[in-house]
Amino acid sequence: MTSAPLTLLCLPNAGGSAAMYHRWKRLLPDWLTVLPMELPGRGHLGSQPLVSDYDAMVTQLASDYLALPPGRYALFGHSMGGLLAYGLAQRLSLSVAGRAPCALLVSASAAPTCRNPVVGDLRDGALIAEMRKQGGTPEEAFASEELMQMVLPVMRADYQVCASFQHDARRQPLALPLHVFAGRSDHNTPQQMAAWHHETQASFSLHWFDGGHFYLRDAPQEALLMHTIERLLHTNRIERTGAAIVLAGQEMV
């Protein structure tokens, strides 16, 4: 059975850009339109000033989305992008009638209630050390002073975005399915990833992949992720199913 058309809005990790999702347009089926969302200060928005505050970033993203034609959509975010996708889902669900996403997909991002402290030292050396720890950046990139001069201001602003995030315990959990993806070797613990289930009143699932924080840059794991996203976003897969929780393929109520 063919699924109804759906747009997947994708948000990048700290220091990243919309370009990381361009190849997904070829990997996902025609009924699923991949729409990478660019952040200020990079890509085609390179002339815009960087944003270093979480609420301000979510406000701008919400404005960018509302400028698009209305339609059925889901949100995907990797690392910092997952935190932004969560805030965007909250903003659009609570304040804009009829414009809530049909699902939220979060990758390699600890749950809002149990996030690790963001690195406090934002000088160049500390940021480079953190980038090496996270992985995902080719070692030769660190040897290019010109490239680092471009990347480090973006990383610094993005880390400030993450540091400025504050979880509001008074907010009601989202009324939409929430699917979480994680690398088995990532620094985020299983407990930090599973805690996302507190953020939804609808169905929840947690899916594990081989690899670390950037597991999705490995071709076999990326293919598995694409298959999983396609399956989850199929019309019959995103119906609200109460408070059932799916962890590692086993349903828990």
User: Which residues carry out catalysis?
Assistant: 79
Q: Which two tokens stand for residue 92?
A: 């659009």
Burial of 39 (0-12, 13-18, 19+ CB in 10 A): buried
Name the E strands within the chain: 6-11, 32-36, 73-78, 104-107, 178-183, 204-209, 245-247, 250-252
Closest CA to 176 of 244, 240, 83: 240
Listed residue (14, 72, 56) closest to 64, CA to CA: 56
State the pairing for strand pair 178-183/6-11.
unpaired
The Cα-based distances of 99 to 4, 30, 44 in angstroms read 17, 22, 25
Nearest residue to 54 via CA among 85, 25, 26, 17: 85
